[in-house]
Structure 1
Amino acid sequence: MTIVYSILSNKTITVPVFAWFIAQFLKVINVIVVERKLDFTRFIGSGGMPSSHSSFIVSLSTVVGKINGVSSVEFGISVAVAAIVMYDAAGVRRAAGKQAKVLNKLIFSQKEEDRKNFDENLKELIGHSPFEVFMGALLGILMGLCFA
């Protein structure tokens, strides 16, 4: 039981998980406001506003900075990982989502018999705009500052 307590009292675990949860919850709220529909799949899906990847990793960096100091090696490592995650979310994964959108249009513009091997759309919403990444990072900073 002490291992469970140790994990649950570790701010470098609990704060990022909470930041991820809040970001995913905000995605559901955003869909309700913008599209006027309730879509719980947004709670577990990637992409959208704000970036839960960014909120998770930036809250981790913030917590590490508060606990170990911003001049610590651990903080430096966490910032480097955060930069990679956010670059990937707004760059590589966003580009992959755009490619999936184009491929879906190509595949489903074909005759029905020509697309018999394609039974489902490719996932298009897998990346983030730079603004979504920024808002996720801002959420992560706020969560780290408030709960660490």
Structure 2
Amino acid sequence: MFDFSILISNPLINVAVVSWCAAQILKTSIHLFKHGEFKKERLSGAGGMPSSHSAVTCSVLLTSYLIYGFSSPIFAMAFVLALIVMYDATGVRWAAGLHAKAINYIVEYLGDENTKDKDQLKEMIPKLNESLGHRMIEVVCGALLGFAISLIGYFCF
């Protein structure tokens, strides 16, 4: 018989999963409040407020510090990973989202110019996801959410 307690026995995985779920639910709720529509894609999609990537990596970062200490290799790896993920979210992924927005605009513009080929053009180039990266405030809020969940998990459970 499989021992299901193993699924909840790793505190680093636990805070990561809880942080991701909390960030995605918040992201979906903020979108619903802001735009008045529920989009189930927000429950698993990238981009938006708060950054779930930052929440996950920062919750693992702080939990690894609290459990293993500053000089542990686990903390060092979590620290480096958090820096890379947050830099990538505000840099490379943000730029990719801007490129997707520009390509979508070009495709729409070309389709408007020649309505005969509009459907064929849209078939060749489907609308790209523009919400890939994050603004700095979204990353900071995600990091704060991750830290909060880490502290709650560590001191309350």
**TM-score (structure 2 length as normaliser):** 0.88
The alignment status of 1:121 with 2:127, answered yes or no, reads yes
Q: CA deviation at 1:118?
A: 3.4
Which residues of 2 match residues 1-148 of structure 1 at below 5 A? 1-2=2-3, 4-110=4-110, 111-112=114-115, 113=117, 116-119=120-123, 120-148=126-154
Q: CA deviation at 1:73?
A: 1.7
* Worse-matched range after superposition: 22-31 or 6-15: 6-15
RMSD over equivalenced CA pairs, Å: 1.3
Residue pair 2:107, 2:121 contacting (<8 A) in 1 also? no
Please state whether the residue corresponding to 2:26 is helix, strand or coil: helix
Structure 1 unaligned segments of length 5 or more: list them: none
Q: Distance in 1 between matches of 2:136 and 2:81?
A: 17
Structure 1 runs (4+) deviating above 3 angstroms are none
1:87-109 C-alpha deviation (Å, 9 max, x unpaired): 11111001000000001111111
Q: CA deviation at 1:76?
A: 1.1
Q: Distance in 1 between matches of 2:135 and 2:93?
A: 10
Say how many residue pairs are matched: 147
Q: Percent identity, aligned pairs only?
A: 37
**C-alpha distance 38-67 of structure 1, shift in aligned 2 (>3 A):** same
* Worse-matched range after superposition: 13-22 or 62-71: 62-71
**AA at the equivalent of 1:89:** A
Which has the greater radius of gyration? 2
